[in-house]
């Protein structure tokens, strides 16, 4: 039932909406990572080590001034 209705809007390029949207599709290349996947959770100790390392503290102090 929905088959005959589907090609109709795709063919209507008089308005330009479907026609203009077609070329904007991403170029076929490496698959994009799904946005729902988050980076693996970092351990708190690792984060604390990085936050409180002398270099990080110095960088923060330099930005403060």
16 pLDDT more than 70: no
65 pLDDT more than 70: yes
Q: How far apart are CA 62 and CA 53, in angstroms?
A: 14
Of the pLDDT bands very low, low, confident and very high (cuts 50, 70, 90), residue 57 is: very high
Range from 10-14, 25-29, 41-45, 49-53 carrying the lowest mean pLDDT? 10-14
User: Which of 12-16, 22-26, 32-36 has the largest mean confidence?
Assistant: 32-36
Q: Is 26 exposed, middle or buried (0-12, 13-18, 19+ CB in 10 A)?
A: exposed
In percent, how much of the chain has pLDDT > 90? 15
Task: Please give the full DSSP string across 27-46, using - where no structure is assigned.
Answer: PS-SPPPPTTPPPPPPPHHH
């Amino acid at each position: 039932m929905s088959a005959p209705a589907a090609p109709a809007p795709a063919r209507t390029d008089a308005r330009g909406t479907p026609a203009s949207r077609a070329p904007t599709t991403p170029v076929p290349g490496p698959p994009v990572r799904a946005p729902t996947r988050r980076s693996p959770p970092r351990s708190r100790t690792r984060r604390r080590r990085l936050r409180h390392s002398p270099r990080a503290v110095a960088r923060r102090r330099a930005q403060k001034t």
